């Protein structure tokens, strides 16, 4: 272990100044977890060995399907059936923790029956877990205080009043404002970040020796993520917990890890402390992962080269004072109408051949803006002027679905979710050919040839046309989605979080593919994302949205390096940087509306 005393924020907590080896509180040895499927046994976790030390954070990193969550669940024996721990040991050294709770010394969690009271006593008391989705880990019909208090009362014999006092104390510890009042609230009255804080409070209720956090910040906005990470670090410092932190985000890893374990296909490919992994990665896969992260968050060289050759032309899609309200009915029989403003008088212009990024946190109205631009949703007021390839300008705002058929051939969409955006009952060939078939431009052999050509353009074999979407991975499905978008030879593509559902190494591939198509097919992109790094890589200009308003627009580099609006500054400061040396160097603050 390298004791990097110079790291900021006083991170490494290796017992200082002693030659004594730090002793792990939890050891996982040769763990194998298998899932019995129809087609044989699937090894989700294959011979994983790791150790957790008090006061240190082990980040388990890997892409989706690498078995990192199953590893965490195997430790507590809560793997969903048909999965089961096949072999290995999970040793919990209780006597080595500072908790000093009881006579048992080392327990092998694997040897306990998953339904026994022995393991139930360990879950939540010695080893606590935080899950990804804060809303589904809280019961919607019980008060926050009751849910946190229940954990205390389950494991310790305390009176109701004492449990309540301790709950208030816990809520204060996780920095929930006014805990005396907040304790009697329901989860739906909490924001996403508050909920995750409450879940953390629940996990900490019995002062556990080990905290397992399974992607605790993935569902949260980046500004809230920064706060939660800081909180976990703070709590760990206070109580000398061992933390196992599962994430796919190298930025988060750089922010919080002391040690790193990299997983791939159920196996652990590399282990080490944070600095050696980031600076001297040994395994190819680790290098690949780090490169994929580092490639993002700076402008794509390919894009810069393309712009140097041909700079963007005249505006082709101009939105002026566009407003979108969603009505909802109230009152008896829904006779009274009220509305919420999703997009407030926004103005934007997309030039021919440029990539315009729209960035904002969840609920900022960026998806609604994209859908209104394309007129999937009707707009409340304002104009959307589209200039077609013959130079004729029309206002899309008042058109009907029938009149929109023509512009819809030029303005296409790529959706976020690669699973729900492809009809599971149609073959890939039918999906891609659909726009060509319905406008009657192609059919029969001509259509098949065009579909094969489109599949080639997005890097898929022509044989893919005969298969159904479920046979493809997320990245391949997104390629199919792009092939469908470019099928009628469009001019503008609105990509709504098109890379967000993908693993980081696939993200750059998809973005490069879109840049490639831009060059070949003369496209313009509107790219909607919550991820600044992706926007920075892909977009020439950027519009920052907050609560339905566009607060700042400008060249991507200018905005990213010198943000003018306070919200943009707050957003940029919260983005985790994939460099452990720069940990804690950025000053974070939360934007509050004036």
Partner 1 sequence: MSVVADPHIDPNADPRAIAGEDSASQWRLIWGSFRRHRLAMTGAVVVIAFYLVALFTEFLAPFDPDAPSSRDVYHPPQMIHLFDTNADGSWAFRPHVNGMKLSRDRFTLKTTFSPDPDKKIYLTLFGDGTPYKMWGLIPMEKRLIAAVTPGERFYLLGADRLGRDMLSRIIAGTRVSMSIGLAGVAVSLLLGLVLGGVSGYYGGWVDTGVQRLIELKLSLPTIPIWLGLSAALPQDWAPLTRYFAITLILSLVGWTELARVVRGRFLALRTEDFVVAARLDGGSKARVIFRHMMPSMVSHIIASVSLAIPVMIIAETSLSFLGLGLLPPTISWGVLLKEAQNVRSIAQAPWLFAPGIAVCAAVLALNFLGDGLRDAADPYAQEGR
* Interface ranges with partner 1 (CB under 8 A): 37, 39-40, 42-43, 65, 265-266, 302, 333-334, 374, 376, 401, 405, 408-409, 412-413, 415-417, 420-427, 434-435, 438-439, 456-461, 466-468, 470-471, 476, 484, 505, 512-513, 516
Least Cβ distance, residue 468 to partner 1 (angstroms): 7
Q: Which of 200, 230, 261, 213 is nearest to 50 (CA)?
A: 261
CB nearer to partner 1: pick between 178 and 288: 288
Q: How far apart are CA 441 and CA 452, in angstroms?
A: 16
Least Cβ distance, residue 40 to partner 1 (angstroms): 7
Burial (0-12, 13-18, 19+ Cβ within 10 Å), 65: middle
CB nearer to partner 1: pick between 244 and 457: 457
Least Cβ distance, residue 530 to partner 1 (angstroms): 18
Least Cβ distance, residue 495 to partner 1 (angstroms): 13
**Backbone φ and ψ of 361, nearest 5°:** -85, 175
CB nearer to partner 1: pick between 233 and 412: 412
* Spatial contact of 209 and 241, defined as CB atoms under 8 Å apart: yes
- Helix 504-521 with 284-295: angle, nearest 10 deg: 50
CB nearer to partner 1: pick between 271 and 479: 479
DSSP-assigned beta bridge partners for residue 268: 263
Least Cβ distance, residue 289 to partner 1 (angstroms): 11
CB nearer to partner 1: pick between 71 and 223: 71
Least Cβ distance, residue 285 to partner 1 (angstroms): 9
202 upstream amide cis, omega within 30 of 0: no
CB nearer to partner 1: pick between 141 and 335: 335
Least Cβ distance, residue 356 to partner 1 (angstroms): 19
| Alpha-helical runs (H) found in 101-245 | 117-122, 144-155, 160-173, 179-182, 192-204, 222-239
Burial (0-12, 13-18, 19+ Cβ within 10 Å), 425: exposed
Burial (0-12, 13-18, 19+ Cβ within 10 Å), 178: exposed
DSSP-assigned beta bridge partners for residue 552: 544
CB nearer to partner 1: pick between 97 and 478: 478
Least Cβ distance, residue 309 to partner 1 (angstroms): 17
Least Cβ distance, residue 274 to partner 1 (angstroms): 25
CB nearer to partner 1: pick between 258 and 496: 496
Q: Which of 415, 395, 406 is nearest to 438 (CA)?
A: 406
Edge to edge, the sheet with strand 26-37 lists 40-52, 26-37, 83-93, 106-108
Structure tokens at 134: 């804060």
Q: Which residue bears the tokens 């969550």? A: 69
Least Cβ distance, residue 397 to partner 1 (angstroms): 17
CB nearer to partner 1: pick between 38 and 160: 38
CA–CA distance from 314 to each of 210, 317, 450, 538 (Å)?
Answer: 59, 9, 30, 20
Least Cβ distance, residue 50 to partner 1 (angstroms): 20
Q: Which residue bears the tokens 């996990």? A: 203
* Spatial contact of 432 and 483, defined as CB atoms under 8 Å apart: yes
Least Cβ distance, residue 421 to partner 1 (angstroms): 4
CB nearer to partner 1: pick between 57 and 416: 416
CB nearer to partner 1: pick between 412 and 583: 412
Structure tokens at 540: 């020439």
Q: How far apart are CA 323 and CA 134, in angstroms?
A: 32
Helix/strand/coil for 226: helix
CB nearer to partner 1: pick between 64 and 105: 64
Least Cβ distance, residue 217 to partner 1 (angstroms): 23
N- to C-terminal Cα distance for the chain?
A: 47
Structure tokens at 404: 């929109």
CB nearer to partner 1: pick between 508 and 553: 508
1's CB contacts (< 8 A; 6+ apart) are 12, 14, 22, 273
Exposure class string for 474-503: b at 16+ Cβ within 10 A, else e: bbbbbbbbbbbbbbbebbbbbbbbbbebbb
Q: Which residue bears the tokens 């005393």? A: 5
* Spatial contact of 15 and 22, defined as CB atoms under 8 Å apart: yes
């Amino acid at each position: 272990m390298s004791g990097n005393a110079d790291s900021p924020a006083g991170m490494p907590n290796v017992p200082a100044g002693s030659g004594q080896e730090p002793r792990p509180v939890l050891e996982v040895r040769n763990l194998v977890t298998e899932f019995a499927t129809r087609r044989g046994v699937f090894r989700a976790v294959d011979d994983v060995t790791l150790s957790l030390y008090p006061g240190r954070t082990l980040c388990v990193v890997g892409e989706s399907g690498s078995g990192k969550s199953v590893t965490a669940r195997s430790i507590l024996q809560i793997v969903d059936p048909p999965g089961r721990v096949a072999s290995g040991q999970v040793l919990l050294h209780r006597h080595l923790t500072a908790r000093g709770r009881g006579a048992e010394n080392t327990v092998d969690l694997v040897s306990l029956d998953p339904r026994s009271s022995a393991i139930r006593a360990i879950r939540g008391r010695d080893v606590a877990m935080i899950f990804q989705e804060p809303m589904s880990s809280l019961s919607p019909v019980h008060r926050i205080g009751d849910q946190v208090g229940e954990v205390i009362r389950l494991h310790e014999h305390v009176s109701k009043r004492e449990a309540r006092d301790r709950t208030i104390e816990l809520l204060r510890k996780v920095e929930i404002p006014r805990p005396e009042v907040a304790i009697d609230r329901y989860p739906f009255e909490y924001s996403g970040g508050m909920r995750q804080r409450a879940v953390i409070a629940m996990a900490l209720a019995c002062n556990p020796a080990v905290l397992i956090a399974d992607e605790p910040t993935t569902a949260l906005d980046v500004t809230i993520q920064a706060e939660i990470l800081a909180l976990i670090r703070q709590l760990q410092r206070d109580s000398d917990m061992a933390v196992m932190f599962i994430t796919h985000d190298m930025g988060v890893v750089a922010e919080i890890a002391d040690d790193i374990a990299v997983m791939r296909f159920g196996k652990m490919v590399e282990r080490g402390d944070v600095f050696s992994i980031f600076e001297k990665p040994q395994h190819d896969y680790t290098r690949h992962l780090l490169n994929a992260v580092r490639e993002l968050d700076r402008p794509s060289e390919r894009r810069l080269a393309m712009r140097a050759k041909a700079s963007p032309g005249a505006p082709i899609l101009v939105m002026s004072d566009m407003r979108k309200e969603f009505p909802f009915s109230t009152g008896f029989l829904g006779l009274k109408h009220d509305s919420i403003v999703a997009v407030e008088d926004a103005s934007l212009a997309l030039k021919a051949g440029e990539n315009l990024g729209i960035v904002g946190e969840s609920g900022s109205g960026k998806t609604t803006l994209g859908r209104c631009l394309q007129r999937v949703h009707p707009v409340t007021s304002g104009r959307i002027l589209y200039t077609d390839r013959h130079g004729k300008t029309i206002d899309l705002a008042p058109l009907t679905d029938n009149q929109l058929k023509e512009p819809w051939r030029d303005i296409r969409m790529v959706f976020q979710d690669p699973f729900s955006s492809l009809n599971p009952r149609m073959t890939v060939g039918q999906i891609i050919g659909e726009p060509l078939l319905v406008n009657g431009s192609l059919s029969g052999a001509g259509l098949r040839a065009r579909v094969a050509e489109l599949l080639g353009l997005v890097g898929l074999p022509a044989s893919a046309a005969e298969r159904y979407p479920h046979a493809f991975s997320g990245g391949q499905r997104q390629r199919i989605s792009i092939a469908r978008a470019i099928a009628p030879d469009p001019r503008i593509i609105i990509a709504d979080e098109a890379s967000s559902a993908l693993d980081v190494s696939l993200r750059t591939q998809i973005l490069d593919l879109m840049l490639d198509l831009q060059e070949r097919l003369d496209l313009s992109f509107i790219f909607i994302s919550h991820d600044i790094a992706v926007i920075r890589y892909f977009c020439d200009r950027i519009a920052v949205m907050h609560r339905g308003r566009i607060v700042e627009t400008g060249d991507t580099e200018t905005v990213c390096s010198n943000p003018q609006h306070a919200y943009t500054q707050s957003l940029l400061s919260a983005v985790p940087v994939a460099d452990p040396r720069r940990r804690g160097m950025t000053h974070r603050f939360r934007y509050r509306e004036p």
